[in-house]
Amino acid sequence: MADGIEPQDKILLGMYGIDKSFLGVPVLQDVQLECRPGEIHAVMGENGAGKSTLMKILVGVYQPDAGRIELDGAPVRFHHPRQALAAGVSIVHQELNLLPERTVAENIFLGREPRRRVGVDRTAMERDASRLLAALHADDVISPRALVGRLPVAQQQLVEIAKALSFRPRVLVLDEPTAALSPHEVDALFDRIRRLRADGLTVLYISHRLKEIFDLTDRITVLKDGRRVDTVRTAEVDTRRLVHLMVGRDLDHYYPPRATPERIGEVRLSVRGAGAGMLHDIDLDLRSGEIVGLAGLAGSGRTELARLLFGATRMATGRLEVDGRARRLRSPRQAIRCGIGLLTEDRKSEGLVLQLSVRDNSLLAVRALGRGPTRRVGLGALLDRVDLRGSTAREVRYLSGGNQQKVVLARWLATGARVLIFDEPTRGIDVGAKASIHELMRELAEAGAAILMISSELPEVIGMADRIVVLRQGTVAGVLPADASEAEIMLLATGEPDRSGVGVGAVADGGAA
């Protein structure tokens, strides 16, 4: 193991031999992580590599099945996040954990409000909140009395960090803190993190953006399929090496062959000048037989566009045509009638009714359309097509992520959808199932479907798409051919030149199993 840890180095935080399984599926196996005082340590890995799970074990949200955690050389065991906080380990979770109806100060000191005789000492609380925000150089923009729900997302993020810092941590875990930030805001955040390091704080930094890892961190621990691959000094590796560590094989290998030009047929769905909410002036054509990759930073409007095309948000401006006929989509119901299907990013909250069976979930849309009993759907044939085996009476919450995605796919095959929108189709899905989802997508395209695939994993976009559309700030920044590089995509997505020159990737994402 090329740990590069010299013996004289002090280890502030150590995790050794960590194992964790969910429902018998191993998520982490024998994972080791060592952090020195005052370093910024990146944890990287593909989607489903186990990064978030490892962090949740560290802060006491999950209990490890085996292994030990040491802080300053002393073994610790956290059964509740409270204990981790008390021991000096704070985390800023990927999803914001704030109460929108409460003020900034109330959120920061939730659970530890300063007291004065019987009541809460608001003055002291607001003063301390100001001080914490000042440490982040945010006291001039965020008032401790502001309601959190009214702050922009970037400021809410700072409130989260201020809250984490209020515990006076020795280790601060930042899980994808830049997902919703603009480049300018990212720079400002990095300045703040570096200043915290200068004050002696140890930071564990989780991100899917290689550029950020290179800009910010001192060392990198790479996870793959629940195991630690290596821990390296950031200064000693380049992009190629890091990607190789994470992926462990050639990227092209995964993906089915692209469409040949003659397979690409007529336009199935087209929008011109579409806009609603943050989206504006969007032109887009989806052709039968073609997979269009939709890339863009988080917050660029990718999911919003998917919902717009599906009628889940109404189009304020522009026109939309399906198979050459102008349509107004007022609800998902109408979109489905027009032959459009959406596979949502968050399967559990928007895709599936978890307590219903495979059968009921697969047939949900067909039944909802109610096109008369004449149209009989062969469930068996349907599930064969998506390659899903096992009883159809199982409740879908017991299925793996990959099989859940197949159920959603079966739903749209049942309605005979000819335009399919995949929003992050392989998020939280293991590598094997991923390949079979990709193959299915290609098969569907070959059978004549028009497919729009949204993904924050650039290799997936590059590997799958016949054409790449890049969004930036709510509109199409450009269209790239199939063989575009990650750097080209990021250039369009950020709208600024790629200074470091390395391929800036969005190789991995946080969703733990």
Q: Binding residue for other proteins (CB under 8 A) from 63, 317, 331, 485? A: 331
Site for other proteins in 22-81 (CB under 8 A): 23, 61, 80-81
Q: What does the alpha-carbon distance between residue 120 and residue 136 come to, in Å, rounded to a whole number? A: 25
Closer residue to other proteins in complex, CB, 54/223: 54
Query: Residue 354, interface with other proteins (CB under 8 A)?
Result: yes
CA distances, 48 to each of 29, 31, 122, 138, 447 (Å): 13, 14, 43, 34, 30
Site size for other proteins, by CB under 8 A? 73
Which range touches other proteins (CB under 8 A), out of 63-71, 136-144, 272-280, 447-455? 272-280
Q: Which of residues 188-247 bind other proteins (CB under 8 A)?
A: none
The single-letter code of the amino acid at 322 is V
| Count of residues making up the chain | 513
Q: Tell which positions 439-498 bind other proteins, by CB under 8 A.
A: none
Of 68 and 367, the one with the shorter C-beta distance to other proteins is 367
Q: Does 150 bind other proteins (CB under 8 A)?
A: yes
Interaction of residue 152 with other proteins, rule CB under 8 A:
yes
- Shortest distance, position 185 Cβ to other proteins, whole Å: 15
Q: Which stretch binds other proteins (CB under 8 A): 212-220, 353-361, 426-434, 469-477?
A: 353-361
Q: Which of 479, 448, 442, 449 is nearest to 464 (CA)?
A: 442
Interface pick for other proteins out of 33, 98, 181, 297 (rule CB under 8 A): 98
* DSSP assignment of 343-404: E-S-IIIII--TTSBHHHHHTHHHHHHT--TTS---HHHHHHHTT--S-TTSBGGGS-HHHH
Q: Which stretch binds other proteins (CB under 8 A): 70-78, 106-114, 249-257, 467-475?
A: 106-114
Is 322 near other proteins (CB under 8 A)? no
- Rank residues 411 and 442 by Cβ distance to other proteins and give the closer one: 411
Among 365, 382, 409, 506, binds other proteins (CB under 8 A): 365
Of 337, 329, 343, 341, the C-alpha closest to 271 is: 329
**Rounded to the nearest whole angstrom, what is the least distance from the CB of residue 350 to other proteins in the complex?**
5
CA distances from 321 to 14, 37, 274, 278, 501 (A): 57, 58, 11, 21, 40
370 binds other proteins per the rule CB under 8 A = yes
Residue 276 interacts with other proteins (CB under 8 A): yes or no:
yes
Q: Based on CB atoms, which residue is closest to other proteins, 405 or 415?
A: 415
Binder of other proteins out of 34, 46, 106, 488 (CB under 8 A): 106
Q: Figure out which of the listed residues 256, 332, 478, 495 binds other proteins, where binding follows CB under 8 A.
A: 332
Cβ 286 to other proteins, closest distance in Å?
Answer: 19
146 binds other proteins (CB under 8 A): no
Q: Compute the distance between CA of residue 281 and CA of residue 235 in angstroms, rounded to an integer.
A: 43
Cβ count within 10 A of residue 388: 21
Q: Is 89 in the site for other proteins (CB under 8 A)?
A: no
For residue 503, the tally of other CB atoms under 10 A from its CB is 21
Q: 249-258 long-range CB contacts below 8 Å, 24 or more apart?
A: 251/459, 251/462, 251/463, 252/463, 254/434, 254/435, 254/438, 254/463, 255/438, 255/463, 255/464, 256/438, 256/439, 256/442, 257/442, 258/291, 258/466, 258/482
Instruction: For residue 2, count other CB atoms closer than 10 A to its CB.
Output: 9
Report the nearest approach of other proteins to the CB of residue 346 (Å): 9
Residue 333 C-beta-side C-alpha neighbours within 13 Å: 7
Q: Is 404 in the site for other proteins (CB under 8 A)?
A: no
Question: Do 300 and 279 form a contact (C-beta atoms < 8 A)?
Answer: no
Region for residue 70 given its phi and psi (left: phi exceeds 0; alpha: psi -120 to 50; beta: otherwise)? beta
Span from 46-54, 126-134, 142-150, 494-502 in contact with other proteins (CB under 8 A): 142-150
Segment contacting other proteins (CB under 8 A): 205-213, 222-230, 356-364, 376-384?
356-364
